[in-house]
Structures are given as structure tokens and as C-alpha cells.
């Protein structure tokens, strides 16, 4: 399993709309609306890197007003 963070920048003024559109999507375990260089942070879990490709190709494409995403793949975790 691959765990990744997706840092999302949206069109100014669409933060809430994109946040709500993303909230129900498969593979998204947590979603935060944040202030700073990015607008939304997703924590995503996928089976493998091919599924991460499809997450971007299929899910992110369907949602309007996302201007940029930057995906950080995690190698270790402690909670």
C-alpha cells in the first residue's frame, strides 16, 4: 500500500466547493482546508503506483477549479 499527501491549489474563491467535491472520493482518507501556499491537503491511500496514476487521471480530472496538485509519497509513518 502507498500512502501519499496531495497538496492542492484551487482557483481563488472555490476552496469550499472543491473541498466538498473531493470529500466523498475513493482513496481520500482525510481532507483538510488550510491557509498558506496550498489550499487543501489530502491524505490518500492506494494499492500501488498504478492506482495513484488512476487517482489523478480519473478523480482529479472530474473536479473543476483545481489549478495545481503536488503529490508527496510517504515512506514512513508514526501516529
Q: Does 1 bind a second copy (CB under 8 A)?
A: no
26 or 50: CB nearest a second copy: 50
Neighbouring C-beta atoms of residue 12, cutoff 10 Å:
9
Q: Which of 1, 19, 44, 47 binds a second copy (CB under 8 A)?
A: 19
How many residues touch a second copy under the rule CB under 8 A: the total is 49
* Sites for a second copy among residues 25-64 (CB under 8 A): 29-38, 41, 49-50, 52-53, 56-63
Is residue 42 classed exposed, middle or buried when 0-12, 13-18 and 19+ CB atoms within 10 A define those classes? buried
Longest dimension (CA), the chain: 34
Amino acid at each position: 500500500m502507498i500512502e501519499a499527501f496531495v497538496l492542492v491549489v484551487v482557483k481563488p474563491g472555490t476552496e469550499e466547493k472543491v473541498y466538498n467535491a473531493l470529500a466523498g472520493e475513493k482513496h481520500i482518507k482525510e481532507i483538510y482546508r488550510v491557509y498558506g501556499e496550498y489550499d487543501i491537503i489530502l491524505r490518500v491511500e492506494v494499492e500501488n503506483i498504478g492506482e495513484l496514476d488512476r487517482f489523478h487521471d480519473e478523480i482529479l480530472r472530474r473536479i473543476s477549479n483545481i489549478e495545481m496538485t503536488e503529490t508527496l509519497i510517504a515512506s514512513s509513518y508514526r501516529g
